[in-house]
Amino acid sequence: ICLPKAEGGLGLRDFSLWNKALILRLVWLLFSNSGSLWVAWNREHRLKRTNYWLAETRQTHSWIWKALLSLRPLARLFLGCKIGNGLSASYWCDDWLPLGPLIHFIGDDGPCKMGIPIRATVAEGCRNGLWRLPSSRYCCLCGQQQETRDHLFLHCSIAGQLWSMVLPRLGTPTVTFPEWSDLIQWLLSPTSGLSSTLKKLTVQNAISTLWTERNNRLHNACNDDPVTLFKRLDRTLRDTLLARLPHRRCRRLLAQWFRFS
């Protein structure tokens, strides 16, 4: 009955196809930066930290938004990508190469393997005019050296700045760790006037802070400066000790931590 009358049908519209066409029109509005209030609201509340291709479907979403997300495979057939300066083109999800979206060509583990966050733009996929396609993993904090345990936690410029703020708080500003074994040796050796427990807690928090920052830069495309990292470490360490204040030992540890602040 949806065939044209000339072909023996009644000329009625196929409402299923018509509905898809109208939904795809809304998808086009999202990508064309339409000035409508609907587009502005969805970009602010649903696509602020993601994009149309990566957005997850939730039960609380409206029917129309779920329909928009369900038609992503069909929408991709009608959408191209004009790179321009690369600031708005998704490195992984947009169809800016003859290969198609890189996330489909390389696989879901591509961002991890290449060190380029899933939400990165094409512009962010370059560094100093060169594509970020390292033959080996480079440090996510400084981007200058191959990522190894010793470099990430001891030798990286970001790690060095963090340690330069942490060690004076322990009364040991001149201590250096050329290798990982030196750090372990320092932890196991007694230090006059410094609790071994506080040393271990501080080093544990420093390592955790650097590792979290590394993962945030790699997977979430966000980064903090060393001062912010130290403030986070300081807050975590104080919270750990304050939670155990009824114990006299924790009071002494807290006093030691504040002694050189």
185-234 tens-digit pLDDT: 999 988 888 888 889 999 999 999 999 999 888 788 788 999 999 999 99
Say which amino acid occupies 168: P
pLDDT given at position 246: 76
Asked if 26 and 64 count as a contact pair (C-beta separation under 8 A), the reply is: yes
Question: What's the rounded mean pLDDT across residues 22-50?
Answer: 86
**Collapsed DSSP state (helix, strand, coil) of residue 137:** coil
Task: Single out the residue of 81, 72, 216, 118 nearest to residue 158, CA to CA.
Answer: 216
pLDDT tens digits, 161-184: 999 999 998 888 888 899 999 999
Task: Provide the 3-class DSSP secondary structure of residue 157.
Answer: helix
What pLDDT score was predicted for residue 9?
75
Whether 175 and 131 have beta carbons less than 8 Å apart is answered as: no
Q: Is the dihedral of CA 104, 93, 56, 139 positive or negative?
A: positive
Question: Mean pLDDT over all residues of the chain?
Answer: 85
Confidence of residue 92 (pLDDT cuts 50, 70, 90): confident
pTM here is 0.51
Per-residue confidence at 120, pLDDT binned at 50, 70, 90?
confident
Does the pLDDT of residue 30 top 90, yes or no?
no
Q: Is the dihedral of CA 195, 196, 199, 201 positive or negative?
A: negative
| For range 240-249, the mean pLDDT | 81
In this prediction, residue 84 carries a pLDDT of 82
Strand partners, 146: 138
pLDDT at 132 over 70: no
Residue 131 DSSP label:
E
User: Residue 152 pLDDT more than 70?
Assistant: yes
What local confidence, expressed as pLDDT, does residue 69 receive? 92
Instruction: Please count the other Cβ atoms lying within 10 Å of the Cβ belonging to residue 10.
Output: 9
d(CA 96, CA 233): 41
Are 213 and 229 in contact by the 8 Å Cβ rule? The answer is yes
pLDDT, residue 11, reads 65
Structure tokens at 14: 């196929």
Judge whether residue 134 has pLDDT over 60: no
| Closest by CA position to 224, among listed 165, 138, 162 | 162
Number of Cβ within 10 Å of residue 187's Cβ equals 14
Please name the residues in contact with 198: beta carbons below 8 A apart, sequence gap of 6 or more.
Answer: 170, 253, 256, 257
